[in-house]
Amino acid sequence: MFKRYRTLRINPILRDMLTETRLHKEDFIYPLFVVNGHGVKNAIDSMPDVFQMSADVLIGECEKLIKKGINKIMLFGIPKIKDSIGSDALNENGLMAETIKFLKRALQDDIFIIADLCFCEYTQHGHCGVLDSKGILNNDATLEFLAQQALILAESQVDMLAPSGMLDGMIYTLKTVLAQNNFYNLPIMSYSTKFASAYYGPFRDVAQSTPIHGDRKSYQQNMANRREAILESLNDENEQADILMVKPALAYLDIIRDIREKSLLPLAAYNVSGEYNLLKLAQKTGAMDYEKLLLETITSMKRAGADIIISYHTQELVDMGLM
C-alpha cells in the first residue's frame, strides 16, 4: 500500500485551492528613505529602484503606493548634518519629525507611517547611539536619547515606532516614557532579534550609516546563536513590545519558525537590502526566472511563520501581479 500524493497535484485549480501560503499586500511594509531638500531623488548603485527622496517627492511616491494598495511605509531619515549624539533626531524640527508631520497632514490616515528609531543614520560615527570614552556604545545614556527621539516622533503623529538599535531595556524604556506622556496606544514593533549581518551592506550605502570604526557586534547578535536569538525576542515581549521581528529574513528562516512557535505576538520578517541586492543581481544575469525566484523567496518567509514582511520588493510584487 502506498499513498498517492500526486492525486492532489494533477489539476491546476485543485493545486491552487490547496495552496497553504499566499502573499497579500496587506501583510507588507515598504521601506522609504527621506533626505533634506526639495525635488531630490537620488538613485543608489547597490539597490536598483530604491531612492533617497526629499519630503516633497516622497508625497508623490506615497500617493502612488496608496493607489496600488500599499499603505504601510517604514521611514528612514538621512539628515545632512550628523554629529556625535545624533542631534537631528532630538530636534522637533528635525528631518524625520518634519517629514512625518508633512506626510500626515497631506495623506492623513490613508498612509500608516512606521518610523525606524535609531541613531546610526544621525551620528557622524555611524553607531546606533552615544559612545563612551573608549568608543563603546553606552547603553543607558543611549536609552535616554531614544526616549527623547520617540517622544518627538510621537508628537509628529507617527503611527508606529520600530526601535532597531538592539539596546538592553529599549522597549521597557520607550513604553514607560510613552505612557507617561499619554502615548500609551502608540504601537512598538521591536527589531527584537537582529543579527550582526553582512546583508545590511547596501542599506548602509543608502542610509550613509556605516560605522567609521569598529562594527555593531557589541549590540547586534551573533549570527550563529539560536537560543540567544529566541531569548532576545521573548525578552522584548516581556518588555511589552507589540510586534516582534527577525532580521535579516532569508538566512534566518529557522529563527522565524522558532520565535513563531514560542510567542503569540505578531511577527515581522525584514527582507533586508542585501537579500534584495542578491535577487536583483540574479535578475540581471537572466539565469533564473526572476518572478518565480522572487515569489519562492518571499513565500519562504511567510511559510516560516512571519505575519508581516518588510521588503523593498513590495512594489514590484504588486506590479508583477504576484499579490
Stretch that binds ligand PBG, among 48-56, 87-95, 180-188, 200-208 (CB under 6 A): 200-208
Which of 28, 183, 200, 219 contacts ligand PBG by CB under 6 A?
A: 200
Residue 315 contacts by C-beta under 8 Å, 6 or more apart in sequence?
Answer: 30, 49, 65, 68, 70
Asked whether 48 and 38 are in contact (CB, 8 A), the reply is: no
Residue 311 makes contact with ligand PBG by CB under 6 A: no
Amino acid at 262: K
Dist. CA 130–CA 135, nearest whole Å? 9
Q: Is 175 a catalytic residue?
A: no
Q: Does 75 bind ligand PBG (CB under 6 A)?
A: no
Contact between 203 and ligand PBG by CB under 6 A: the answer reads: yes
* Position 65 contacts ligand PBG (CB under 6 A): no
| DSSP secondary structure string for all residues of 50-119 | -EEEEHHHHHHHHHHHHHTT--EEEEEEE-S--BSS-GGGG-TTSHHHHHHHHHHHHHGGGSEEEEEE-S
| Least distance in angstroms from the C-beta of 118 to Zn ion | 3
Active site residue 247: yes
Q: Which of 139, 142, 273, 315 binds ligand PBG (CB under 6 A)?
A: 273
Nearer to ligand PBG, 258 or 275 (CB): 275
Least distance from ligand PBG to the Cβ atom of residue 74, Å:
8
Nearer to ligand PBG, 273 or 297 (CB): 273
Tell me how far apart the alpha carbons of residues 146 and 175 are, in angstroms, rounded to a whole number: 11
Q: Binding of ligand PBG at residue 118 (CB under 6 A)?
A: yes
The one catalytic residue in 72, 82, 194, 280 is 194
116 binds ligand PBG (CB under 6 A): yes
Return the residue of 54, 139, 142, 164 that touches ligand PBG, per CB under 6 A.
Answer: 164
Nearer to ligand PBG, 107 or 282 (CB): 282
Three cell numbers at 68?
Answer: 496600488
Place of cell 512606521: 114
Give the three-class secondary structure for 147: helix
Considering only residues 25, 101, 104, 204, which one is a binding residue for ligand PBG as defined by CB under 6 A? Answer: 204
Identify which of residues 137 and 177 has a Cβ nearer to ligand PBG in the complex: 137
Note if the bond before 248 is cis, omega within 30 degrees: yes
Applying CB under 6 A, among 146, 161, 272, 298 the residue interacting with ligand PBG is 272
Given the residues 247, 262, 292, 302, select the one marked as catalytic.
247
Give first-to-last CA distance, the chain, whole Å: 40
CB of 217 to ligand PBG, least distance (A): 11
Does the CA dihedral 157-123-74-225 come out positive or negative?
negative
CB of residue 128 vs Zn ion: minimum separation in angstroms? 3
Q: What does the block give as the cell for 5?
A: 500524493
Burial of 172: CB neighbours in 10 Å, binned 0-12, 13-18, 19+: middle
Binding span for ligand PBG by CB under 6 A among 53-61, 97-105, 198-206, 235-243: 198-206
Q: For residue 308, what are the CA distances in angstroms to 5, 13, 220, 243, 273?
A: 31, 27, 21, 9, 17
What is the smallest separation between the CB atom of 140 and ligand PBG, expressed in angstroms?
Answer: 18
Residues of this chain that interact with Zn ion (CB under 5 A) are: 118, 120, 128
What is the H or E stretch that residue 193 is in? strand 193-194
Q: Which of 183, 203 has the CB closer to ligand PBG?
A: 203
Instruction: Write out the catalytic residue numbers.
Output: 194, 247
Contact positions vs ligand PBG (CB under 6 A): 116, 118, 120, 128, 164-165, 200, 203-204, 209, 216, 272-273
